[in-house]
Structure 1
Amino acid sequence: MTATRPHALAEVVAAAVSAFDKPSARQREILQRIERHAERLMADRFQLAVLGQFKRGKSTLLNAMIGRPLLATGILPLTAIPTFLMPGACPAITLTYLDGRTEREETGDWRGLAQRISGATTEEGNPGNVRGLERVDVEVPSWKSLAHIVLIDTPGVGSTYRHNTTVAEAVLPECDAALFVVSADPPITEVELKYLNEVCRTVSHVVVVLNKVDLVGTADLERALSFLRTVLAEADLPQVDPNIFPVSAIAALDARLGGKKVNLAHSGLGGLESYLGQRLMRRKAELLEASALRNIRAGIAELRSDVELNRHALALPLEKLDENIAVFEEAVKGLQTEQQSLDDLLNGEWRRSIALLDELALDGERRVLAGLDPILHDGTSEEAMRSTLDRIMPDLFDRELRAVVLRIGSHIGEAIAEHERRYLDLVRRVHATAGAALAADILPPPPQDRFIPLKQPYWTTRGLAEDLGSVTRDWLALLLPGKLRERRKLKMLRRSAVAAVGKNVANLHWATRQNIDDNFRRLLSSCRQSVQDSIGRTGDVLASARDRRRTEDITVRDEIRRLERHADRLRKLARDLDSRDADTPSLE
């Protein structure tokens, strides 16, 4: 990579901006977006996001990294607006609104700053983003660990607040690299793995942090790390760093606030910060450029598509345009009715999948209990029965509960694939109808990723020690005769074994239900949006073209020639970006 490459990319953006003398509102938004990426590249402003599911301790981790409890934490989903933390001369907060307004306030009062951040970024302080904020920037002086990095606190995905997930996904293009935070129990869920796949399509380098390690013992931590490594290896995501960093963010924050370096080292945060500061920062320039190049190319592609739509619409004779608009509007009614039917079918399949899960989980529990029955009633000693249970239970759970996971996974995968095909066919027909109305070829968007099942259920790896261990601490049994005491201990052990089965099956049911809901909710939302975007965008272009033809017919030819110049210039810029991408060093 040469020193002139960032300047060359900035020149491409400048050329794109200069090509539009009268940009539409949509074009202006795209141009501002790619300008922002070019400016960040020139300013060497590297952004590291903290991503993950809600309640994994992302905000606590960031508080520990900056050494101040500025970001709100708690038992409920909190962060609703992305927060950008950066080095500054003094503590300050800048609010950027969706309408473009900004408000900046400096303060030396850390508690007051924390309250202002909470009031802007949390669901409690800003429910559903009623304040209309786009982002919050916070300047923090004297933070040593990552002085040349902007840290981004994002809303957690998968909470009850759907807009939090939407905001978290929307901020991904702003990320040059990411910390993906999971917690030790469970180490990763199917929903998180699916989100990680989405992250890796946009972010070039992802470092996985296993948080809340203070909640598990050494043996459980090793099992969690081993499982996490296995899952990530099977996912085969080259963007994910091979190193996993176990951290206790809450212990790290306490250590940093108390100035205890030994405790900070034990928390695991020191090792993570050292790795980021030494290894990641060596790749800072190439990661930042790769992010800018990817986003600028996407913006140029959007501009090209928008210009082509407008050019084709204006080129149609007014009479033909009126006729095509009438045909398009009539077709839209049928397409929207068809979409509603598909929505109803998908919701019905969603309910059937949950019912199937209930049935399979219950059947799995019966099979496990049936497999344990001979052991629980063989009349041996409590010690012998415990030894047999410890040996048999993991294999029994693995066999029977894996069968449940594979069955429900296969069912959902097939169901989602079938419904996705129907939606994609509808989207293609929307685009074909729009193309016919504009006398142009309009390519539909690429299909979304489908259901991704895990290869093994995490709940089978933990063993049953915590579920069965309390049996030996039965002080009342010490007052009974030997035979009665043994019978009591056997009875309690049987009861504990049955309870352990119920607990593990409940864990399976909960995790799989989360995955079912997430997959169906995402598919329903994305397919609806694809159809509505296609209809709305084409309708707007047709209406705008008709208005222009009716009121400014004399200037239409000039406008068409102007759009053709835009299209030609954008094609050249796209080729230029493609050639620059071919010269970009590999990020492996």
Structure 2
Amino acid sequence: MLSKPIKEMTILEKTNMAYDLMKDDDAVKGQAAQVETLLEKLKSEDITVAVIGQFKRGKSALANRILGDDVLPVGIVPITSAVTKVRYGKRQAEVHYENGVVEPVEFERLHEFISEQENSNNELGVQSVELKTPSKFLKNGLTFVDTPGVGSYHKNNTEVAYEHMKESDAVIFLLSVDSPINQIEIDFLKNTKEFAAKFYFAVNKIDVVSEAELKAYTDYCGMLLKQLMGKDDVRLFPVSAKTGQGIDDLKDAVLRDCKKNTREIMEASTAKKLADVINSAATQLDFYWSAMNLEYKELDKRFAAINKTLEDVRSKADACEGNFDVHLNEYKLMLSETVKDLFGMEYHYEIDTVRYGVIDMDREDFLKNVDDLCDDLTKTLDRILLYREENAYTVCHRINAINRLSRNLRRIRDSLTGERR
């Protein structure tokens, strides 16, 4: 029984409650991991500030100006094709791959991994690039993020930008005087405001227009942004990433808010993100019900396909002669994708970090881990889908548990969305 009504709980208490509800249910294991991340960020007050917007607005050049360090490559063609995270510390660069490998690289080589020309459609499988620099802007613990631009020819860039906007707590939304706000930017802004709690609207390239032209542009944009954001206190920051004009005003505003209003920003951001994760969990449970209610003939067919995949994994593992940590991560990704294809369900695996050039696993451990991975997937799918389960009590207990989980998660979500109206 709850100690107090949900509507009286703090954001931290609601987030804890959502995690406790989901953490032991395999059907929403992925969403539980997301909520756990929200909890960690909320407790540590680790604010993520992202620069986002349409391609070729000058995001990377602006980021370099804000950081006071030319750490991000810039160019006349779309450069940023992967998320780049920057934190405070001794200057270093690492490439994080989707398969868990982390490779240290020289700053001069970054374009090889985040340039659309050199890593087209992310053929290298880069998950993110993580940099450290002793920038005063980052000294108090901010994580600064440069994202791919939306709306370019490269569809992958837009998809990455949309996915990462969900992680941002505060956003520098970059516009440019050489183009009025367009529908691509409007749609992106509408989506972004569902996740980020604080917005700073920067208008770039002011060095190429007159004061009269700038005023006309900012008056028009200000009016439109007030309508889109549903508030009257929208402020625009005219800047030039080329000359540095206006950068200090933008930096000061971000740092002032992140210092004085950290808790407020993090709670508002967490509330938005938690509501989205709960919606995702509800969708996942719908897919779960659909899969669980398949006819036995269809379930037999799909379980046979899973078993064939598991045989292939074991066969590949037997043939492996090295890079065991990497291969184990790749099998996790493959099995997760297979479950999604066959049952429409997200199956969450933790992808272990593999430091470039470091060997942590021998062949014997690798083969045992592969066997455990395969056995665990079979048992979990049998359990959550009640495959061939004949015990009526077990079936009823599972159905009641899912109904109870759905009901409690909806109560938390409704309390969050009610607060935001």
TM-score of the superposed pair, with normalisation by structure 1: 0.52
1:60 is displaced (CA, Å) by 0.5
Structure 2 partner of 1:300: 278
Offset of residue 72 of structure 1? 1.1
In structure 2, the residue matched to 1:237 is: 229
Inter-partner Cα distance in structure 1 for 2:397 and 2:29:
20
- 1:138–1:16: structure 2 CA closer, same or farther, 3 Å change rule? farther
- Tell me if the contact between 1:13 and 1:35 (Cα under 8 Å) persists in the aligned partners: no
**Per-residue Cα deviation, 1:388-413 (whole angstroms, up to 9, x for no partner):** xxxxxxxxxxxxxxxxxxxxxxxxxx
Structure 1 Cα separation of the partners of residues 108 and 399 of structure 2: 49
Q: Does 1:174 align with 2:161?
A: no
Question: Partner residue of 1:81?
Answer: 82
Residue 264 of structure 2 is matched in structure 1 by 286
Q: Which residue of 1 aligns with 2:30?
A: 29
**2:283 & 2:393 partners in 1: Cα distance?**
20
Measured in 1, the distance between the counterparts of 2:74 and 2:410 equals: 44
2:240 partner letter: S
Quote how far apart the aligned CAs of 1:11 are: 2.2
Where in structure 2 are the equivalents of 1:103-118 lying within 5 Å?
A: 103=102, 105=104, 113-118=106-111
Is residue 99 of structure 2 the alignment partner of residue 96 of structure 1?
A: no
User: Which residue does 1:143 correspond to in 2?
Assistant: 136
Per residue, is there more helix in 1 or in 2? 1
Bigger shift: residues 71-80 or 304-313: 304-313
- State the match for 2:363 in structure 1: none
Task: Confirm whether residue 565 of structure 1 aligns to residue 401 of structure 2.
Answer: yes
Query: Cα 1:312–1:12, aligned 2, differ >3 Å: closer, same or farther?
Result: same
For 2:238, the aligned partner's letter is P
- Confirm or deny: 8 A CA contact 2:11 2:271 kept in the other structure: no
Letter in 2 for 1:40: K
Aligned partner (choices 235, 238, 245) of residue 246 of structure 1: 238
Letter in 1 for 2:235: N
Name the structure, 1 or 2, with higher relative contact order (CA <8 Å, separation 6+).
2
Per the alignment, in what secondary structure is the counterpart of residue 153 of structure 2?
Answer: coil
Residues 1:221 and 1:322: Cα distance change in structure 2 (over 3 Å) = closer
Instruction: Check the 8 A contact 1:91/1:113 in 2, yes or no.
Output: no
| Aligned position for 1:270 | 248
Equivalent residues of 1:307, 1:567 under 8 A apart: no
Distance 2:23 2:188 in 1: 37
In the TM superposition, 1:497-576 aligns within 5 A as 548=382, 552-554=388-390, 558=394, 561-576=397-412
2: CA distance, partners of 1:240 / 1:555: 60
Residue 123 of structure 1: aligned partner: 116
Query: Is the aligned partner of 1:59 residue 2:51?
Result: no
Unmatched runs of 5 consecutive residues or more in structure 2? 1-8, 303-339, 347-377
* 2:42 corresponds to: 41
Quick one: structure 1 residues 556 and 49, their matched pair in 2 at CA, closer, same or farther if it must change by over 3 Å?
farther
> Shift of residue 565 of structure 1?
1.4
Q: Cα deviation per residue 1:228-283 (whole Å; 9 max; x = unaligned)? A: 223324x342368521111111212xxxxxxxxxxxxxx11111111122245433
> Structure 1's 70 and 32: CA in aligned 2 closer, same or farther, altered over 3 A?
same
Distance in 2 separating the partners of 1:166 and 1:240: 31
Change (3 A) 1:5 1:124: same
Map of 1:461 onto structure 2: none
Paired residue secondary structure (1:251) = coil
Cα deviation digits, residues 522-554 of structure 1 (max 9, x gap) = xxxxxxxxxxxxx9676679xx9xx95896434
Do the aligned partners of 2:49 and 2:172 also contact (CA within 8 Å) in 1? yes
Matches within 5 A, 1:147-166: 147-166=140-159
- Contact 2:60–2:72 (CA under 8 A) maintained in structure 1: yes
Selected match of 1:204 from 191, 194, 197: 197
**Contact kept in structure 1, 2:112 and 2:119, CA below 8 Å:** yes
Q: Aligned partners of 1:207 and 1:241: how far apart in 2?
A: 11
Deviation string 1:476-498 (CA, Å, 9 cap, x unpaired) is xxxxxxxxxxxxxxxxxxxxxxx
Taking a change above 3 Å as real, the CA distance of residues 576 and 232 of structure 1, as seen in their structure-2 partners, is closer
Letter in 1 for 2:403: A
Distance 1:299 1:563, change over 3 A: farther
> Relative to structure 1, is the Cα distance of residues 556 and 270 closer, same or farther in structure 2, using a 3 angstrom cutoff?
farther
1:15 aligns with 2:57: no
The answer to whether the Cα contact below 8 Å between 1:184 and 1:221 also exists between their aligned partners in 2 is yes
Alignment partner for residue 188 of structure 2, among 176, 186, 195? Answer: 195
Structure 2 letter corresponding to 1:208: F
Letter paired with 2:193: C
Gaps of 5+ in 1: 106-111, 253-266, 326-534
Q: Contact 1:94 / 1:103 at 8 angstroms: preserved in 2? A: yes
For residue 159 of structure 1, report the CA deviation from its aligned partner: 0.9
8 Å contact kept, 1:96–1:135: yes
Distance 1:41 1:559, change over 3 A: farther
- Tell me the TM-score normalized by structure 2: 0.70
Looking at structure 2, the residues matched to 577 and 540 of structure 1 have their Cα atoms a distance apart, in angstroms, of 21
**Alpha carbons of 1:61 and 1:561: their partners in 2 closer, same or farther (altered >3 Å)?**
same
Structure 2 residue 173 is matched with structure 1 residue 185: no
Once the two structures are superposed, residues 560-583 of structure 1 have per-residue CA deviations (whole angstroms, 9 ceiling, x without a partner) of: 62353143134224424544665x
Q: Residue type matched to 1:285 in 2?
A: R
Change (3 A) 1:219 1:322: closer
CA RMSD across the alignment: 3.5
